[in-house]
Structure 1
Amino acid sequence: MLTLRQLFLANNAQTTDFPLMLEFERAQGVYMYNAEGKGWLDLISGIGVSNIGHGNPEVIEAVKQQVDRYMHLMVYGEYVQTPQVRFAQKLASLLPSTLQSVYFTNSGSEAIEGAMKLAKRYTGRNQIIACHNAYHGSTQGALSVMGNEDFKQAYRPLLPGIQFINFNEPTDLQYITEETACVIMETVQGEAGVRVPNLAYLQALRKRCTQTGTMLVLDENQTAFGRTGKLFAFEHFGIVPDILVLGKALGGGMPLGAFIASVEIMGTLKNNPILGHITTFGGHPVCCASGLASLEVLTRKNLISQVEEKEALFKKLLVHPAIKQVRGKGLMLAAEMESFEVLKKVIDHSIEQGIIIDWFLHCSNSMRIAPPLIITHEQIEQACAVILQAVDIYA
């Protein structure tokens, strides 16, 4: 009889020739456990998903209660489904008055697709500007605005009318014109290795988009829900996007995305043609129940207030001649090393010792650190000690 790992390789589509092949039986808090009970400290949160940790009892209870009531009833937007309504209401209460209309999708990538369509529909324009080294997802439209040719060249032709500018480069804002439907940008670039823009740059971007009638679309798939020390990362910069994209932590561990705009802007999807954007499972009631419970835990327990001091602790501890720089915002950090070859050895050793870290798609020599916000100071110290031990050995 084949083992589970053998079946995984035989029947589950693979994304690389070198999957990690870790096999977990359960997860709780900041740890994931195998069948023998060995725990791994999760320093990447499933790539920015598990912001309040694994297995939160309130989230689990919300999921169980909703499963008992109903699951899928109808395609999105036709029936009044309590979890969707309550979650949208909660999000709107925490957002500026111009971001009150929530369109739920299945994922962050799908939310990007919807946001691009909405910007084109509202402005009547077709040019989209994105950034070099951006990552917005892997579907056709999202791939079109990815700023790394290595990951997209095999899938051309992609969407036309895409122009790329340099992130955090003020002179490139001149390319935003009255022909531009939207600028789509990560508030903090993630897969580029956590690049935090200057305050003046984002404010100039907002001003330029307003002057040209261009929609500013901020992708907060990785940065929202406390990851950077604010509920939403744009709050650091004193600006408000025209369209906000959410995913990853939005569903509290369940698959969920959303794009959010004003009622006026979102209303353009209703006519000419009707059903301008459709999803069967977007805003699944169980996912919305999970997301709402997760957001309520996040805000009620005031987890975001602890993020800045935990960021400082990581930066204080991760000091080594082989670590060139630790950059980022909040618990979204990148520790830069000499090369991917060295970093991969550090990652593998750390995983062997029970600490899960990773690298970035567009910055393969930098270590990804993005633990659940509930991580304790003691756990940070433990994780950093293991990482530094690995750096000592291999760097």
Structure 2
Amino acid sequence: MSTNKPIKVGISIGDLNGIGPEIALKAFEDVRMLDFCTPVIFANVKMLSFFKKYFNLELRLHGIPHATKAVHGKINVVNAWKSNFKVNFGEEDKVAGKYAVRSIEVATEALINKDIDVLVTAPINKNSIQSEEFTFPGHTDYFAEKLKGENLMFMVSDQLKVGLLTDHVPVKDVAKHITPERIQKKVQLMSESLQKDFGIVKPRIAVLGINPHSGDNGVIGNEDQLVLQPTIHKINDLQGELVYGPYAADSFFGSKNHENFDAVLAAYHDQGLIPFKTLAFGKGVNFTAGMNRIRTSPDHGTAFDIAGKNQADPSSFVQAVYRAIDIFKNRMDFLEMNANPLPVQPKSKDNRRNKLN
């Protein structure tokens, strides 16, 4: 059920004091982007006009009251708020955080209602967004509550895909969060995503060890031997998955072992994101897999250190747009290929009566 209709790409604007507005607008300064997608930015037209002028960008903004009014060929902007805001580039600001949250909330509502097809989120500052109403440590946790389905933080590029067993968890608490149930669920989410979102029929997945050298047979912790190993064996035996490990994380990427697999499941945040951002920075995308809606984001943060200096590179944001569109189309193709071509028709009473006669 592939469609040639331009995909409606929703965009939450991120922290106004960071590089979010800059990279979002720079991405669509290239008019060719408008040929295959319809951008809908959830922000404020006056605010974006300020950024457009500040960064001397050649583009036109089209204000609309609602995402359903988006016009193809234009950079549509839904006014998610009306009040003004004084930008202070590079500074943490609770007011900027409030507007970032407002953008996310309005964009998510549009995504749930299918007023947009996919959502690309610009970077937020995790401290600025905190309030009595918004207590999530980041996008992933927010979408886990708002959208259906359990999710997986999945960093993806053409050459490398890394998912996380635990994401925004303090290092001291990582081991206690890694249970057989969590491992099985995350492997399942990764495998299903590789199949329906990336078109890989029988994915090969590597799992990294929790401890240095995967515990060295219990010398440096026993979680790998007691939890990871038996669970991986069980997954392979009962579910028929191609899951391997645990592998020692320190040498796994340097030896290019990751090239033998379709994806890698890391035990915790930095174990997965440090090698990913080292090998794929600027080309990588943060994808929240496992949900019934599609959300991507660039593989970097607010970059307060270069905010307002006209130095931000929109490459990862552009890749996030491309990736969201590709996943949307892949899911449509997957649904079409797996649909029952001959649905069973219920037998009528008359038909049953005629057969009996």
Question: Common fold, TM-score beyond 0.5?
Answer: no
TM-score by length of 2: 0.26
Pick the structure with greater CA Rg.
2
TM-score by length of 1: 0.24
